[in-house]
């Protein structure tokens, strides 16, 4: 990962790929007739200094890509952003990231540009995605002035939509991971949580395929429908 | 520190996959860089219960898979029975498909997810890189599970070797040990000159050859000692008068084990090595074979075979146990070791019989029969007596009159064998039981009733009386009896089916989910390696052997014979032999450990005490037992 981003930065600074302006990053894609069995999906998890998007900051970004229905471990993102100026003592215990690790991080701007380039405008999935979306969009805007919107989908909605009868005992990532017997190697590590979320996504996509859902748009619509049902029932 | 830094440079998910892989063979033996290569090039896929993972229609296999979570079931269609059989199961940490990806062909087995399953896989490019760069990986892929079996055997051997400090293998071809161009002389040479020749060359033996260099006899220092002590011959007589004629010969390709067994059985200390024309090319002495051992098979067998008191025989039993350690250390596999134990037990039984005949001869010739595991030559250190007597009624006597003479004799022998460590049989299957001390005619009647009336009790007895062998006395009458019994069973389809049904009852200790099924034994989780592990093989193989007229009583030999007769597929037979031998090896190792701790020997083990590799192979061995039973089920339509 370190090598990868160093090379990327070196390449861009040398001007080989033209400007590294945010507007030159790939355009976010909208859900259309892309086949779920072929398209690329990003599954992402952020670690932050706290839960308040107004004042808290992103510490680390972990993400994996689902390519053609499989998690591709050669296509992953695992970076700690540089935030030495932040007081992070409150959340250090949850995430296991101390100030030393943060100072080894990368210059935020470079890292975020690299992230945008890596995301390639593909749809993003996350567990309780509203949280990650808010933090990421806020950070992209503050650091890069980037305001374009990616397509986000919430895995916390995806699972109950396809497994309405599952007795998980709760709505958290841990509940679903336990329900499917997943082993999460290092819980609360961004990359590790992203992988667990991606594994749950694979399970949901397998079910989606069997129920005849083939395209990204069909999946997106199904999620919207599920959310509306939920709000009608006031759950 | 360097390693830690390097580790930090790898993404968390790569590291966690490496940690996962490291817990399983062959990855546990691979370098970090190779594991990282695997992890970084892998994809993770999900298969719901029942999804097809890999099928013949997918064409040439181009991915190599490892189960990360869940299970994969291999299915093949059985044409004969027109149904689908599970041929194997692959669980967490195990790889597939091996033969297909190495052979660059489509898989022949349908791979299906059993339960929700995640698999890691790499493409052929990464697979080839790893095969060419990582030796443990290459070894595993090219030799499959048998390379794991080797690892287990290696560990069993190293364990036993700690006390022996030697690494000579009994499977080594004999010519490695052999003395090339041994000292030879002609039959007419005077003994004095022959001894001088031995002295000049500092050897303990001389081979007497004829004009064509065929071994005609052998003369050793031991023979010289006997000759002088007993004053049987003059030193000026030609050596042919005193030599041991027709010495034991083996081809140079035979292994050390064959030589050791031959020496133990016949109490020879020297063997000639000959080429295909029976010309002398070398010589092996017991000292060549066992130079590094404290306890040696041949001299132990000789000591037992010439002991003059019962108490000597009793004290020699501890040496037998030490020998088992030594044999494991010298690379004998479990099949070899049980044969050694059986050989030594035979020698002990024979000696007890001889000593009693010397003291108190019943005056009637008889054949001493053994049944069950001893009959199969599959005894371990934990063994009880299953024996009987076969006699031919002398003219002018009734069978009961013969029994009157033989039974008290048999009683003493049974008791003395018990003192030597052969526990008295609780079911009274012993020669001192009047029902098992029978004439040839009575035995024949007995077997006719046994085969015709397939009572439940008879079926229980089948595992004892249908594995029968003579270890003392004339063998002709037993051969005749056996031939009759076999032909009756071959003609009696109903009896075969009853036997098969009985064998089918004994299920290997695996649950539907491929976990171990434990016997309820208080709090401890335990498996009975004999009743649950070995018995399913022994019983099923017996059915096939008897139904196909196979004479051998030994389970491994029966499987060989069945493969040769075309009843078993050769690959299946080998897999079943491996599985059976492995369970036996684990059982013997645990016996040795119990002996070391001064515990009473049992056949129970707690699989949690085994390392993961042994556990996995034990599980796979039980799977093979299930497959063998499936064959029984199909053949006899149970």
Question: Tell me: the pLDDT tens digits for B581-597?
Answer: 888 888 887 887 787 78
pLDDT band at B145 (very low <50, low <70, confident <90, very high): low
Inspect the interface and report whether the beta carbons of B116 and A181 lie closer than 8 Å.
Answer: yes
Task: Among B143, B159, B182, identify where a domain stops.
Answer: B143
In a domain, B94, yes or no: yes
Q: Which of A8-22, B156-170, B189-203, B288-302 has the lowest mean pLDDT?
A: B156-170
Q: What is the dihedral of CA B346, B349, B351, B356, to 10 degrees?
A: -160
Is 0.80 topped by the overall pTM?
A: no
From the CA of B21, how many Å to the nearest CA of chain A?
13
Q: What domain count does chain A have?
A: 1
Question: B17 and B62 in one domain?
Answer: yes
> What is d(CA B582, CA B590) in angstroms, rounded to the nearest whole number?
12
Inspect the interface and report whether the beta carbons of A189 and B39 lie closer than 8 Å.
Answer: no
Tell me the per-residue pLDDT of A140-160, one tens digit each, with 9 for 90 and over: 998 888 999 999 999 999 999
From the CA of B110, how many Å to the nearest CA of chain A?
20
Name every residue in A having a CB less than 8 A away from some CB of B: 1-3, 62, 64, 67, 69-74, 76, 78, 180-183, 185-186, 189, 191-192, 194-195, 198-199, 202-203, 205-207, 210
| pLDDT at position B412 over 80 | yes
Task: State mean pLDDT over B312-330.
Answer: 74
The position carrying tokens 């013997």 is B588
Task: Among B143, B160, B193, identify where a domain stops.
Answer: B143
Tell me the per-residue pLDDT of B66-110, one tens digit each, with 9 for 90 and over: 999 998 988 877 776 677 777 777 888 888 888 788 778 888 889
Q: Which residues contact A73 (CB under 8 A, 6 or more apart)?
A: A64, B13, B14, B17, B39, B40, B41, B42, B43, B44
Q: What domain count does chain B have?
A: 4
In a domain, B434, yes or no: yes
Confidence at residue B637, expressed as pLDDT on a 0 to 100 scale: 85
CB contacts, 8 Å: A64 with chain B? 13
In a domain, B492, yes or no: no
In a domain, B441, yes or no: yes
Which residue range is the domain that position A143 belongs to? 2-21+35-158+165-202
- Closest CB to A2: pick one of B9, B40, B116: B9
Tell me, what CATH number does B410's domain have?
Answer: 3.30.460.10
pLDDT band at B451 (very low <50, low <70, confident <90, very high): confident
> What is d(CA B492, CA B270) in angstroms, rounded to the nearest whole number?
48
Confidence at residue B383, expressed as pLDDT on a 0 to 100 scale: 73
In a domain, A8, yes or no: yes
Tell me, what CATH number does B117's domain have?
Answer: 2.60.120.10
Question: B207 and B92 in one domain?
Answer: no
Most B CBs within 10 Å, among A63, A67, A69, A71, to test the B interface: A71
Question: B477 and B505 in one domain?
Answer: no
In a domain, A150, yes or no: yes
Q: ipTM strictly over 0.90?
A: no
Question: B511 and B477 in one domain?
Answer: no
- Closest CB to A73: pick one of B44, B69, B116: B44
Confidence at residue B328, expressed as pLDDT on a 0 to 100 scale: 66
> What is d(CA B148, CA B139) in angstroms, rounded to the nearest whole number?
10
In a domain, A146, yes or no: yes
Question: B23 and B137 in one domain?
Answer: yes
In a domain, B324, yes or no: no
Confidence at residue B594, expressed as pLDDT on a 0 to 100 scale: 81
Question: B449 and B421 in one domain?
Answer: yes
Confidence at residue A45, expressed as pLDDT on a 0 to 100 scale: 95
Confidence at residue A56, expressed as pLDDT on a 0 to 100 scale: 84
Other CB atoms within a 10 A radius of the CB of residue A140 amount to 21
Tell me, what CATH number does B239's domain have?
Answer: 3.10.580.10
| pLDDT at position B460 over 90 | no
In a domain, B432, yes or no: yes
> What is d(CA B158, CA B225) in angstroms, rounded to the nearest whole number?
40
Most A CBs within 10 Å, among B7, B13, B121, to test the A interface: B13
What mean pLDDT, rounded, does chain B reach? Answer: 83
In a domain, A52, yes or no: yes
pLDDT band at B112 (very low <50, low <70, confident <90, very high): very high
In a domain, B358, yes or no: yes
Which residue range is the domain that position B459 belongs to? 334-482
Question: B228 and B198 in one domain?
Answer: yes
- Closest CB to B13: pick one of A67, A78, A180: A78
From the CA of B17, how many Å to the nearest CA of chain A?
9
In a domain, A189, yes or no: yes
Tell me, what CATH number does A113's domain have?
Answer: 3.30.420.10
Task: State mean pLDDT over A90-112.
Answer: 58
Question: B65 and B119 in one domain?
Answer: yes
Contact B393, B364 (CB under 8 A): no
Tell me the per-residue pLDDT of B335-379, one tens digit each, with 9 for 90 and over: 777 877 888 888 899 999 999 999 989 989 999 999 988 888 887
In a domain, A197, yes or no: yes
| pLDDT at position A194 over 90 | yes
Contact B13, A76 (CB under 8 A): yes
Contact B544, B568 (CB under 8 A): yes
Contact B623, B34 (CB under 8 A): no
| pLDDT at position A19 over 50 | no
Tell me the per-residue pLDDT of B517-540, one tens digit each, with 9 for 90 and over: 666 555 567 888 888 889 999 999
In a domain, B366, yes or no: yes
- Closest CB to B13: pick one of A70, A76, A202: A76
- Closest CB to B11: pick one of A191, A202, A210: A191
> What is d(CA B251, CA B274) in angstroms, rounded to the nearest whole number?
5
Tell me the per-residue pLDDT of B492-505, one tens digit each, with 9 for 90 and over: 988 898 889 888 88
In a domain, A235, yes or no: no
């Amino acid at each position: 990962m370190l090598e990868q981003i160093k090379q990327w930065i070196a390449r861009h600074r040398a001007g080989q790929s033209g400007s590294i302006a945010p507007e030159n990053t790939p355009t976010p894609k909208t859900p259309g007739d892309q086949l779920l069995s072929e398209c690329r999906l990003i599954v992402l998890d952020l670690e932050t200094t706290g839960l308040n998007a107004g004042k808290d900051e992103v510490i680390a970004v972990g993400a994996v890509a689902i390519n053609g229905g499989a998690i591709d471990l050669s296509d992953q993102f695992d970076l700690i952003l540089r935030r030495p100026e932040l007081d992070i003592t409150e959340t250090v215990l949850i995430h296991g990231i101390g100030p030393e690790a943060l100072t080894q991080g990368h210059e935020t701007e470079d890292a975020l540009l690299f992230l945008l380039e890596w995301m390639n405008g593909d749809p993003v999935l996350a567990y309780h995605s509203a949280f990650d979306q808010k933090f990421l969009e806020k950070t992209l805007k503050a650091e890069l002035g980037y305001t374009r919107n990616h397509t986000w989908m919430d895995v916390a909605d995806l699972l109950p939509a396809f497994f309405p009868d599952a007795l998980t005992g709760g709505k958290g990532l841990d509940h679903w991971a336990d329900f499917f017997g997943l082993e999460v190697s290092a819980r609360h590590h961004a990359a590790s949580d992203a992988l667990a979320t991606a594994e749950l996504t694979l399970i949901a996509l397998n079910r989606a395929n069997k129920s005849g859902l083939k395209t990204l748009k069909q999946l997106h619509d199904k999620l919207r429908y599920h959310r509306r049902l939920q709000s009608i029932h006031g759950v | 520190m360097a390693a830690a830094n390097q580790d930090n440079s790898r993404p968390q998910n790569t590291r966690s996959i490496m940690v996962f892989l490291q817990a399983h063979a062959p990855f546990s033996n691979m370098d970090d860089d190779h594991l990282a290569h695997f992890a970084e090039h892998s994809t993770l896929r999900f298969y719901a219960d029942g999804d097809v993972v890999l099928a013949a229609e997918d064409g040439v296999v181009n991915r190599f898979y490892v189960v990360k979570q869940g299970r994969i079931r291999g299915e093949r269609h059985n044409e004969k029975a027109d149904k689908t059989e599970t041929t194997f199961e692959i669980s967490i940490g195990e790889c597939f498909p091996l033969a297909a990806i190495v052979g660059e062909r489509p898989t022949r087995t349908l791979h299906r997810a059993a339960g929700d399953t995640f698999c890691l896989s790499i493409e052929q490019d990464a697979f080839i890189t790893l095969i060419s760069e990582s030796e443990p990986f290459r070894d595993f892929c090219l030799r499959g599970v048998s390379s794991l079996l080797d690892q287990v055997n290696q560990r069993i051997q190293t364990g036993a070797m700690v006390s022996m400090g030697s690494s000579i293998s009994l499977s080594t071809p004999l010519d490695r040990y052999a003395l090339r161009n041994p000292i030879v002389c002609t039959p007419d040479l005077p003994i004095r000159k022959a001894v001088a020749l031995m002295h000049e060359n500092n050897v303990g033996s001389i081979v007497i050859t004829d004009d064509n260099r065929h071994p005609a006899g052998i003369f050793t220092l031991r023979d010289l000692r006997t000759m002088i002590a007993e004053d049987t011959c003059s030193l000026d007589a030609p050596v042919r008068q005193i030599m041991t004629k027709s010495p034991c010969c083996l081809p140079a390709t035979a292994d050390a084990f064959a030589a050791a067994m031959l020496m133990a059985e016949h109490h020879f200390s020297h063997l000639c090595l000959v080429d295909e024309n029976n010309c002398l090319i070398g010589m092996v002495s017991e000292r060549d074979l066992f130079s590094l051992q404290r306890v040696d098979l041949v001299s132990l067998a000789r000591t037992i075979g010439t002991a003059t008191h019962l108490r000597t025989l009793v004290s020699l039993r501890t040496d037998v146990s030490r020998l088992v350690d030594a044999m494991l250390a010298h690379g004998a596999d479990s099949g070899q070791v049980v044969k050694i134990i059986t050989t030594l037990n035979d020698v002990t039984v024979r000696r007890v019989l001889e000593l009693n005949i010397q003291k108190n001869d019943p005056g009637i010739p008889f054949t001493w029969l053994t049944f069950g595991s001893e009959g199969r030559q599959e005894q371990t250190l934990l063994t009880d007596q299953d024996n009987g007597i076969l006699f031919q009624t002398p003219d002018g006597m009734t069978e009961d009159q013969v029994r009157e003479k033989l039974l008290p004799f048999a009683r003493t022998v049974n008791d003395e064998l018990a003192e030597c460590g052969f526990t008295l049989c609780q079911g009274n299957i012993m020669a001192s039981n009047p029902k098992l001390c029978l004439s040839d005619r009575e035995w024949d009647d007995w077997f006719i009733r046994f085969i015709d009336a397939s009572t439940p009790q008879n079926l229980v007895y089948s595992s004892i009386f249908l594995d029968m062998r003579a270890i003392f006395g004339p063998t002709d009458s037993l051969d005749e009896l056996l031939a009759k019994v076999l032909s009756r069973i071959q003609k009696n389809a109903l009896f075969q089916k009853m036997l098969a049904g009985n064998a089918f009852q004994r299920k290997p200790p695996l649950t539907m989910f491929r976990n171990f099924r434990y016997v309820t034994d208080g709090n401890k989780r335990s498996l009975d390696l004999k009743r649950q592990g070995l018995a399913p093989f022994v019983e099923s193989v017996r059915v096939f052997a008897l139904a196909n007229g196979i004479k051998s009583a030994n389970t491994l030999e029966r499987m060989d014979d069945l493969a040769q007769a075309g009843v078993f597929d050769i690959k299946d037979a080998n897999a079943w032999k491996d599985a059976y031998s492995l369970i036996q090896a684990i059982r013997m190792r645990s016996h040795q450990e119990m002996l070391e701790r001064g515990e009473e020997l049992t056949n129970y083990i707690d699989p949690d005490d085994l390392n993961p590799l042994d556990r996995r192979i034990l599980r796979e061995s039980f799977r093979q037992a299930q497959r063998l039973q499936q064959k029984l089920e199909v053949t006899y339509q149970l």
